[in-house]
Structure 1
Amino acid sequence: MRDNAQGTPSRPPAEPSDSARGPTGRKGIAADVGASLVVFLVAVPLSLGIAVASGAPLIAGIIAAVVGGTVAGAVGGSMVQVSGPAAGLTIIVADLVMTYGWRVTCLVTLLAGLVQLALGACRIARAALAVSPAVVHGMLAGVGVTIALAQLHVVLGGAPQSSAPANIAELPAQIADNHTAAVGVGVITIVLMFGWNRLPSLGRFNPALVPAALVAVGTATSIATLSRWEVETVTLPGSVAGAWNGPALPSSDQWQGVAVAVAAVAMVASVESLLAAIAVDRMHSGRRVQLNRELCGQGAANTVSGALGGLPVAGVIVRSTANVRAGARSPLSTILHGLWILLFVALFAHVVELIPMPALAALLVFIGTRMVSLAHLKDLRRHHEAGVYLTTLFGVVLLGLLEGVFLGFALAMIMALRRLTKLTVTSEERAGSTHIAVHGSLTFLAVPRLAHALRTVPEGCHVDLDLHVDFMDHAAFEAIHAWRVDHERTGGRVDIDEVHENWYTRSSAQSAPAAKTAPRGAARWWAPWEMRGVSRTGLNPLGLLSAGAREYHAGTADRMRAVLNRLPHGRKPTALFVSCADSRVVPNVITASGPGDLFTVRNLGNLVPPHGAPNADSSVGAALEHAVTVLRVPSIVVCGHSHCGAMQALLNRTHHDAEESDTAHMRQWLAYGQGGLSRLGADEGALAGLPTAQALCRLAQENVREQLDRLMEYPVVRERVESGELTLTGMYYDLETARVHLLDAGTGTFVPVAGAQDLPLQHARTEGQGPDGQLVEASSSGVSSRPSC
């Protein structure tokens, strides 16, 4: 369920019945059976077409589809991914068939499967994801263009040439020839493939429910058969014995090339399968893919497919997408689709043999063009990797698969090294001091540029050095530290501010100290604007916010996007955090929490209106109900703080009868805080004579206790607390010491949370804040019992 804290609350879905729960329920099995039939209808023509493009026996595509469905589905680690003959492997297979023959190609497939099994057993599946997606997508696009160019000749009634450049050169002459029947079949197939899913729904008929490939190939076959067009059709072996054409050993001088081919097939099949599995995970809400198990499943399928005389197997995104959209819930749909293919070919081989070869070729032309994804290209352009994509694409088309992948990978490595040298150094004078900002990665490659900028600083001046860097190696640290020591020895002053991580601070702790200077104060991302060099002078509020947004975009937005993309859609916050609206209290800072951790409600005085009170503000109650019933948070925290303006207003109203004009809404709201005053007996002068700060501290802490009691008036809260599903926690933040205090349920007092430096090692991770950022109860072990006020 989505954590829609800023959206419209939604009621949690009802629990499914036992019969429908999970993939083993009746509804789950029915959904898998229906999905398997849809995928079966898609897989048959695609498998035959890929076999045609690979130059392999047509039955090899059927064998690979059956084995990919049954073996990879049963052994693999993905819930709904469908495996079978993949278009991305056609160039490799076609070259192997031409060079070594079909039976040696089967041996390559078998050995590649064993390599995949070994890699999966060694649990290094994630290493395959280190290949740049730009290279992978460029490779697939190049394969798609190569397939389309080759099969376009078959559509025109001719034969494909040996390479993509040769196919391009031969294409004009091929178009000029007249191949009426073949062209007619191809045009019908392509038109239906492009247009079928664009047809509008008519009544209960939805074109999207019928696979376009089945409609296109079926229609072309029917027209060609009924019209008695003379076109080449599919030919299958007449018996099972004739169907088997398994692996054979190569000659002694071919083993070196076979070894390279095994590595190439294993690499391409593994990377394509794992990337497809991760992409498919985004389409469903079931169990996430187990990458090492999936790699073992692909290896087992390739081993069996090669032994039986089938094509190499990989996870395929087209069939997997059809499987998800058809409602598949478990690997059962993948396994069943393989069985349906086997039964169909065994019982209806004569129907398959009616399919015109130009129809399969046209299907491959369509698939090849769709493999060139403009969406991927646009996304890669935003990340400045479009050059890698295009280099790989044209390299595969013009030179070959391995050559194109090598070129793309080499360019990706060069660009990665270039980014390591990408450094921006800006310098400006500010009120008698020099402000230098460094953005980028500080490696030895960037030291010359940084050193040049530092040498331009005049001797004896005050320097503010802001390091907005994501990495600093030892050479860069030595350059900065040596310059700092020299500059401060000549009477200058250097304040170094590390905005993201303390690279310099960690290294300088083990190096010779620089000269002692008066600390400016570490201005971090959470510090006020003026501490980060943003002047309030001359800027209106919108200008300040825009300046802050620019700084966020420059240094944090990319990292934040990566964090948010990794959060699950159904992220459940750890706590409902009720805090004062005071701008000095920042809940995520004082709890070291991040996006998705806290569901925050802020108001004047961190107040909770009584349940059922007439004319009560409903915003807090609405947030409370949403957090407890929809998000099902395990904790509610009420956080007060020192020097609270709302508590000051309550005291002023009690003792000084302050001016009441223009404060009607505030007075109405602060009436919900009278309970804290009553508990302290403030009306009888219990706070009289105390210093103002101490009086405010006592009232703010008593107000937290009062709001916790008021939360228990809400039935939904009381029921969850009594059942043990929900805990209530009181918190107090001392602005003078910047320390957090937690309410001890046993003593009723606020106890300061000890930092890691204050605790024995065995207690450092068990008190205050847990290692995962969640709030935990404080205990008296290792914590000072000094009251905060």
Structure 2
Amino acid sequence: MLTDTDLAPRTSPRHPALSQRLAAIGRHDLPASIVVFLVALPLSLGVAVASGAPVAAGLIAAVVGGVVAGLVGGSAVQVTGPTASLTVVVAESVHQFGWAATCFITVGAGVLQILFGLSRIARGALAIAPVVVHGLLAGIGVIIALQQVHVLLGGASLSSSFDSLTQLPHQLRSVHHGDLVIGVVVIVILIAWKFVPRQIRVVPGPLVAVVVATLLSLVLPTHVERLVLNGSLLDSIGLPAVPSGSWTAIAMTMVTIALIASVETLLSAVAVDKLRPGNSTGLDRELIGQGSANMVSGLLGGLPVAAVIVRSITNAQAGAQSRAATVLHGVWVLLFAVALAGLVQQIPKAALAGLLILIGVQLVKLAHIRLARRTGDLYVYVATVLSVVFLNLLAGMVIGLALSFALLLWRVVRVTIVAEPVASARRWVVTIDGTCTFLALPKLSAELAKVPAGVDVTVEMTLDFLDHAAYERITEWAAHRESCGGTVEFVEIGSARMARAMAGPPERGHSRQVIDQAIGPWRRSGNREDRIAAGIAAYHRGHAHLMRPHLDGLRHRPDADSFFLTCADARIVPNVITNSGPGDLFTVRNVGNLVPTAGSDVSVEAALIYALERLDVRAVVVCGHSGCGAMEALHRDVRAGSGLGDWLAHARPSLDRFRLGHPVAQAAALAGFGEVDQLGMVNVAVQLERLHAHPAVRQGIEERGVAVSGLFFDLATARVIEVTVDGIAEFDDEGRRVAAEPV
């Protein structure tokens, strides 16, 4: 007997993953591919025209870039195709070697890119100074704009930027008004498209501009130049030809195309990855995919390709989830080129010229110029742009890299040396800051010579590198002054120290060493009796000079911000864990950070009253810590001698509250702390209750809003945890309280 279940349609459970994948492609990748296709189509045609290549070469490159690079590359959503950044070098190659030979060069550039990917140097390309990349793009933009202005005016693009500038007045006198109107309409639409409602902007602006310009050209009563396709797209496919001429020039052109395409691709990949957190492009594989696409494109008679940042971001923002969107966009270009080639031939050249002029202008970004000015790289930027415009792309890259390296070298070896008197002219300070090498000897000698005889000198050295020559010059100068009865005090703040200058080859110091010297404990070696003296000497040599101006301003100000009660344990350094300085904390320390009941201990009570009434502190803090010996003795119920035993009696209420299941102990247990540390946190909570009950503290709270808080320092993780009377919390980087995480 058949049931309703038997008659219901059945779905095959054999390939559920495939069905889900197809559904995801239809929902996300298919719409995104159509958007990218509409953006890529006019841009591919425009790049072909600007490069002096056959129009079909741009369509071939768009198809191959989408399909081949999309399938082989390392990015899921990056879109590859003809790019404006390669128009200049391609145009030069076409002019010098011809189109068929340029296809051969494109194949060679693809081989180089594959070798780049196989050698795993992709991330090395990201080491190129951004200002050079920005300058290259700006120079390319200027060249494109200069060339296409002539097309916009009804003429032909010129290969030389100098010729484009010098011939511009003549072109203006012989302007063709029909082409000018078409080009201006495209520019106006593209600029205005940014201000139309978001719902309308779903349609790409370049497509709208080209379609409107094409329709307008059909009704204008004047002739306009249009694109020319020699046959169908399939007829335009042709094998490359081996170029004739200087193989050095050929090789340099290959390298230039490979480098520019690779750098633009990698920069685009980094930008796209930022839009998709959690996704990372395989950069080496991406170069292999780009190289494969360039080889195929060159073999079929297409332009060289690279990942294009505008199309890639458009693809990601349109919702693309996988390679399917990139591949499908190439398929749509192919179908359009084969089935609708006649429409391509109706597009006016001036329309694409207007599109390219705006693209070129947009490559010169004011944000990049402002950044170069702020960072001191403006000279490198300007030199790179001018070199690209008036020499060539390779020369611009080499000059830009050379200047950026020279600027880097100057910044690395730069040292600031200043000798000047302080207070009375009886003491001078010589400040040496930066990298002190033999290159600084002329300046170093000149500044040291300014110090007059008979004055005391402090040499403040904030150095990250000190070589033998500079060390010898400084020590010889100091020895000479001391032999004449003067005094020279050295204060070494930086990571490079004079004591190590002659111990071996000079090495750049590490900031970690400075931190260790400033807050690290004494090394467990050497004579114990000498540690205090050695520590004082190190303080005088390294930090007294820094402390002097702070302490001098506090000489007549015996105030403080906070009363800080903590354990006598030597591992707790209050100013370090609170990032405070001299004059901030009025610190009281005792075993177990205890607040005895009023009247039972005059020491803590006297300090508390003095801080509240005389120092006008605004906060009262009690701070415990992990691994506290007092809490361990209390937890084990150890009955110590009369002195310590009597003192720990003040903590017995904390032990009783802990055994009764205090809420702080429960919270600490959930955070992963052991029983001794749980007791330590309960002890802080109990001391907070005592502080709140103290008459002087209560008066301070009521009259001046004094804050009372508890802290617990976990030695194992160096974390500071807040303890309240009923729980614990941690501090985030902004000082906000958050739930304590398990240790």
* Pair in the same fold by TM > 0.5: yes
Partner of 1:643: 589
User: Could you tell me which residue of structure 1 aligns to residue 356 of structure 2?
Assistant: 364
Identity within the alignment, %: 38
Please show how residues 773-784 of structure 1 align to structure 2 within 5 Å. Answer: none
Whether the 8 Å contact between 2:150 and 2:171 is mirrored in structure 1 is yes
Unmatched runs of 5 consecutive residues or more in structure 2? 1-15, 507-532, 562-570, 684-712, 718-740
Q: 1:474 to 1:302 in 2, by over 3 A?
A: farther
Residue type of the alignment partner of 1:537: G
Alpha-carbon distance in 2 for matches of 1:491, 1:328:
78
In the superposition, relative to structure 1, how do residues 274 and 537 fare at CA in structure 2: closer, same or farther (>3 Å)?
Answer: same
Offset of residue 376 of structure 1:
0.3
Tell me which residue corresponds to 1:53: 50
The residue aligned with 2:564 is: none
Task: Decide which of 239, 244, 249 is 2:237's aligned counterpart.
Answer: 244
SS at match of 1:48: helix
Please give the secondary structure, in 1, of the residue aligned with 2:163. helix
Between the aligned partners of 2:289 and 2:281, the Cα distance in structure 1 is 12
In 2, the alpha carbon distance for the partners of 1:329 and 1:232 equals 41
Q: Following the alignment from structure 1 to structure 2, what is the Cα–Cα distance between the partners of residues 231 and 454? A: 75
Sort the Cα spacing of 1:249 and 1:713 in 2 relative to 1 into closer, same or farther, 3 A: same
Q: 2:547 aligns with which of 531, 537, 554?
A: 531
Q: Which residue of 2 aligns with 1:350?
A: 342
The 1:469–1:207 alpha-carbon spacing in structure 2 relative to 1, beyond 3 Å, is farther
User: Which of 174, 179, 182 in structure 2 is aligned with 1:177?
Assistant: 174
Give the drift of 1:390. 1.1
Check whether the contact 1:646–1:670 (CA below 8 A) recurs between aligned residues. no
CA contact (8 A) 2:465 2:496 kept: no
TM-aligned CA distance change 1:741 to 1:179, over 3 Å: closer
Does structure 1 retain, via aligned residues, the 8 Å contact 2:40–2:311?
Answer: yes
Residue number in structure 1 paired with 2:83: 86
User: Which residue is equivalent to 1:392?
Assistant: 384
- Asked if the contact 2:468/2:502 (under 8 Å) is kept, the reply is no
Q: Are 1:467 and 2:467 matched, yes or no?
A: no
Q: What's the secondary structure of 1:282's corresponding residue? A: helix
Are the structure 2 counterparts of residues 461 and 292 from structure 1 closer, same or farther at C-alpha, using a change threshold of 3 Å? farther
Secondary structure at the counterpart of residue 75 of structure 2 = coil
Q: Deviations over 1:664-690 (max 9, x none)?
A: 9999988999xx9999879x9989954
- Cα distance change on mapping 1:532 and 1:286 into 2, 3 Å: farther
Contact 2:186/2:210 (<8 A) preserved:
yes
TM-score (norm 1): 0.67
Determine if the alignment matches structure 1 residue 444 to structure 2 residue 441: no
Contact 2:458 2:491 in 1 (8 A): yes
Q: Cα gap change, 1:719/1:690 in structure 2, threshold over 3 Å: closer, same or farther? A: closer
Assess if the C-alpha contact under 8 Å between 2:154 and 2:350 holds in 1: yes
How far apart are 1:706 and its partner, in Å?
10
2:138 to 133, 136, 141: 141
> Alignment partner for residue 112 of structure 1, among 102, 109, 112?
109
- Alignment map for 1:567-582 (pairs within 5 Å): none
In the other structure, the counterpart of 1:569 is none
Does residue 331 of structure 1 match 2:326?
A: no
Q: Find the residue that maps to 1:368 and give its secondary structure.
A: helix
- Check conservation: 1:441, 1:470, Cα contact below 8 A: yes
What's the secondary structure of 2:576's corresponding residue? coil
Distance 2:227 2:38 in 1: 17
Shift of 1:113: 1.2
After TM superposition, the structure 1 stretch with the greater mean CA deviation from structure 2, 261-270 or 86-95, is 261-270
Q: Does the 8 A contact of 2:233 with 2:338 survive in 1?
A: no
The one-character-per-residue Cα deviations of 1:708-738 (angstroms, maximum 9, x if unpaired) are: 9855534xx766759x9xx999999xxxxxx
Report the secondary structure of 1:468's partner residue. strand
Aligned residue identity for 1:501: S
Answer yes or no: is 1:68 the counterpart of 2:65.
yes
Structure 1 residues 670 and 377: alpha-carbon distance in aligned structure 2, compared to 1, 3 A threshold:
closer
User: Is 1:375 matched up with 2:367?
Assistant: yes
Give how far 1:216 is off.
0.9
Quick one: distance in 1 between partners of 2:104 and 2:96?
Answer: 14
| In 2, Cα distance between equivalents of 1:127 and 1:372 | 25
Match of 1:294 in 2: 286
Distance 2:644 2:588 in 1: 13
Cα distance between partner residues in 2 of 1:477 and 1:693: 59
Q: Distance in 2 between matches of 1:461 and 1:193?
A: 71
Taking the aligned partners of 1:394 and 1:704, their CA distance within structure 2 comes to: 78
Letter in 1 for 2:316: V
CA separation of 1:698/1:504 partners in 2, compared to 1, >3 Å: closer, same or farther?
Answer: farther
Q: Which residue in 2 is equivalent to 1:786?
A: none
Map 1:755-766 onto structure 2 (within 5 A): none
- Residues 451-497 of structure 1, C-alpha deviation per residue, up to 9 Å, x if partnerless? 33345556797654333334444443444455556666777665544
- The equivalent residue for 1:193 is 190
**Alignment-mate amino acid for residue 173 of structure 1:** H
Q: Deviations over 1:372-393 (max 9, x none)?
A: 1110000111111111111111
Tell me what 1:409 maps to.
401
Measured in 2, the distance between the counterparts of 1:275 and 1:59 equals: 28
How far is the alpha carbon of 1:344 from its aligned partner?
Answer: 2.2
Q: Summarize deviations over 1:585-611 as a string: whole Å, max 9, x none.
A: 32789xxxxxxxxxxxxx999xxxxxx
Q: Secondary structure at the match of 2:418?
A: strand
2:299 counterpart residue number: 307
8 A contact 2:669–2:678 mirrored in 1? no
- AA in 2 matched with 1:224: S
Q: Deviations over 1:646-671 (max 9, x none)?
A: 93545667545948989799999889
Per the alignment, residue 153 of structure 2 pairs with 156
SS in 1 for 2:417: strand
Task: Give the whole-Å Cα distance in 2 for the aligned partners of 1:213 and 1:237.
Answer: 24
The residue number in structure 2 matching 1:749 is none
C-alpha contact (below 8 Å) 2:592/2:631 kept by paired residues = no
Change (3 A) 1:308 1:477: farther
- Which structure 1 segments of 5+ residues have no match? 1-18, 546-579, 590-602, 606-640, 733-738, 744-774, 778-789
Letter in 1 for 2:338: A
SS of the aligned residue for 1:643 comes to: strand
Structure 1 residue 196, shift from structure 2 partner = 0.3
The alignment's C-alpha RMSD in Å is 5.0
Moved more, 455-464 or 404-413: 455-464
Distance in 2 (CA, whole Å) between partners of 1:87 and 1:459 is 66
TM-score (norm 2): 0.71
Larger displacement relative to structure 2 (72-81 or 45-54): 72-81
Q: Name the CA distance, whole Å, in 2 between partners of 1:232 and 1:170.
A: 20
User: Hey, what's the Cα distance between the residues in 2 that align with 1:539 and 1:710?
Assistant: 45
Q: Does 1:220 align with 2:213?
A: yes
- C-alpha distance 423-209 of structure 1, shift in aligned 2 (>3 A): same
Given candidates 473, 489, 493, the residue that maps to 1:499 is: 493
Work out which of the residue numbers 196, 207, 215 in structure 1 matches 2:200: 207
Distance 2:355 2:660 in 1: 68
* Amino acid paired to 1:306: G
Q: Which has the higher helix share?
A: 2
Report what 1:567 is aligned to. Answer: none
Give 1:229 shift: 5.5
8 Å contact kept, 1:495–1:520: no
Contact 1:581 1:604 in 2 (8 A): no
- C-alpha distance in structure 2 between counterparts of 1:581 and 1:35, whole Å: 59
Q: 1:178 to 1:31 in 2, by over 3 A?
A: same
1:574-613 to 2 correspondences below 5 Å: 584-586=575-577
2:467 matches 1:521: no
Conserved? CA contact 2:634–2:648, under 8 Å: no
Query: Which residue of 259, 277, 283 corresponds with 2:275?
Result: 283
* C-alpha contact 1:497 1:522 (8 A) present in aligned 2: no
Matched pairs, number: 620
